[in-house]
Amino acid sequence: MRPKLELRNIGKSFGNQGQGADKFVIKELSLYVGEGEFVSIIGPSGSGKSTVFHMIGGLLRPDHGEILLDGRDITGKRGHISYVPQQHSLLPWRTVLENTVLAIEVSGGMSKKQSREKAREWLARVGLKGYESAYPDVLSGGMQQRVAFLRALLSPQEVMCLDEPFGALDALTRMDMQRWLLGLWEQTRRSVLFVTHSIEEALFLSDRIYVFSEKPTGVLEEIIVPFQRPRGEDILQHREFIRLRAHIYSLMKKEVTL
Amino acid sequence: MKNPFINVINKGWPPVVAVILILASWELLVTWLEIEKWFLPSPSDIIIEGLSSWPRLWLHTTSTLHKMLLGFPIGVLAGVLIAVVMHLFRPIKFAFSPLLIISQNIPIIVLAPLFIVWFGYGMFPKIIVVVLVCFFPIVVSMTTGLVDTDRGLYNYMRMIGASRRQIFLKLELPFSLPYLFSGIKISATYSVMGAVIAEWLGASSGLGHYMVISSKSFRNDRVFTVVFVIVILSLIMYALIVLVQKLVIRWNSRSVKEGS
């Protein structure tokens, strides 16, 4: 599979630089997301996942290594990915419709009328018809996250980075949102890099999973999820699902107790 | 959403009752203790005096209003401009923040006579005083809003590649609007005081001027009518600003913290 987004040998240290290799927060991290592939990163909290995202987004520069998009070097450059943060980060003074077109607006390249039309169409498609001119604070947590996801989906960047987008939701809403995202992704097939704490969430949604190690952050193991698409909830009971879940759990447990 | 006017009526009665109670006890005390009118007039004396000298009072009120309505918007505009420029250009903020604070430490009662020496008895020196007292609360509140801009939203805008300009226009500026309005409310009431003090220190018309003349001729009832007019003007200004705020800020500005 042709890599869409690729991280090559990324290293990052904070504080006093050049004081030995043990100071590295992220060490020799390499991973990729293929065209139209759903890839998850899973690891204990504090394993530098958000630092990785900030580097992909261009907010931080790695000390060494490079980040490639379609083979082009985008290290330290902003505006090449679309992004769904953990907290919805909808602007409270913008209506749902205005929030949905925000990322398009920032990236440019589409007329206001065109982008609004597209946003309206998508809002209706995900069951948010009638909420176009509502302010985000009247929406439920799940609805807010749907708008945040649409905002990223509609922006022109091809790679979507999702940073624990369901982390702040309650368990039921979370499962609902996973099914929703799975269905939507299977229709749109964007290249997705998805960060999560939840092993089940990663297995349910992903084509591949990178299990991260802690201190320094790196790839502990790469797991290929063997289930066919479109997927249903039946895979949750699948023997292979249960085996992989136990396997990832033991990997992460080792990491935490270290 | 509730109708703001009905809301005001529903919530507005406790302060109204409090004011009426205070005025009533004042009236009764003055009557019972047989206090002389030149010493302390009763509210009814003040209102009667206000009505009988209404044409003159109105003339001075319009003169003061004129100064306020010129000085206040200029002050707000200057405050917003200064806050924005200081926010966008850090070295300017560094260089000028001490000066801004100093500008508020020089007493107006010192400045106003100087302005009269420099610019004469007309409108201009009074408007400068109003601008001077109005712009500072705006600078402080607006700067706070711009600096306090939610980190989560700021990071999000950076992640999607927003330029400095886009972050300012789409995030920081709307974020600071509720802050700006708290500043404007303070400035609005200051503008009345600023104009009156400037007139007090030398003018040919206006409430401040009328107050000095009345005070010097021991017409305390007139002094109090002016006080009443000043209070009413301040309240009207405040209410107008609250109304504009309701029209401009339609979102729930308290929801920002939850969304970050």
Q: In the prediction, which pLDDT does B39 show?
A: 87
Nearest chain A residue (CA) to B159:
A57
Q: In the prediction, which pLDDT does A257 show?
A: 56
Contact between chains at B161 and A135 (C-beta distance less than 8 A): no
Contact between chains at B159 and A155 (C-beta distance less than 8 A): no
B251 lies within 8 A of chain A by CB:
yes
- Partner residue opposite A92 with nearest CB, options B155, B162, B252: B252
From A219-223, B6-10, B200-204, B211-215, the region with the lowest mean pLDDT: B6-10
First vs last Cα of chain B: how many Å apart? 24
Nearest chain B residue (CA) to A141:
B259
Number of CB pairs, chain A paired with chain B, less than 8 A apart: 78
* The token pair that represents B130 in the structure block: 């109003």
Nearest chain B residue (CA) to A160:
B160
- Separation CA B224–CA B192 (nearest Å): 16
Q: In the prediction, which pLDDT does A216 show?
A: 79
Nearest 10 degrees: Cα torsion A41, A46, A51, A53: 30
Q: What is the ipTM metric for this complex?
A: 0.89
Q: In the prediction, which pLDDT does B3 show?
A: 63
pLDDT at residue A76 greater than cutoff 90: no
H helix runs in A57-206, sequence order: 96-100, 102-107, 112-125, 141-154, 171-188, 199-205
Higher pLDDT, A257 or B233: B233
The predicted-structure confidence for B111-126, as pLDDT tens digits, reads as follows 888 888 898 888 899 9
Interior CA angle at B30 toward B26 and B32, to 5°?
A: 115
Pairing of strands A72-73, A64-69: antiparallel
Contact between chains at A106 and B166 (C-beta distance less than 8 A): yes
Q: In the prediction, which pLDDT does B90 show?
A: 87
- What is the least distance, in Å, from the CA of B240 to any CA of chain A? 22
pLDDT at residue A19 greater than cutoff 80: no
The predicted-structure confidence for B12-33, as pLDDT tens digits, reads as follows 788 889 999 999 999 999 999 9
Contacts of A73 (CB under 8 A, 6+ apart): A66, A67
pLDDT at residue B89 greater than cutoff 60: yes
Average pLDDT over residues A207-235: 86
The mean predicted confidence, pLDDT, of chain A is 87
- What is the least distance, in Å, from the CA of B161 to any CA of chain A? 4
B167 lies within 8 A of chain A by CB:
no
Q: In the prediction, which pLDDT does B259 show?
A: 40
Written as one string, the DSSP assignment of B42-96 is: -HHHHHHHHHHTHHHHHHHHHHHHHHHHHHHHHHHHHHHHHHHHHHH-HHHHHHH
Contact between chains at A137 and B177 (C-beta distance less than 8 A): no
* The token pair that represents B64 in the structure block: 């003061």
Average pLDDT over residues A58-80: 90
Average pLDDT over residues B183-197: 93
Residue of A93, A97, A135, A169 best to disrupt the B interface, most CBs of B under 10 A: A93
pLDDT at residue B260 greater than cutoff 50: no
Average pLDDT over residues A30-49: 86
Please list every residue in chain B whose beta carbon sits closer than 8 Å to the beta carbon of residue A135.
250-252, 255
- Separation CA B217–CA B203 (nearest Å): 17
Name A224's bridge partners. A208
Q: In the prediction, which pLDDT does B147 show?
A: 92
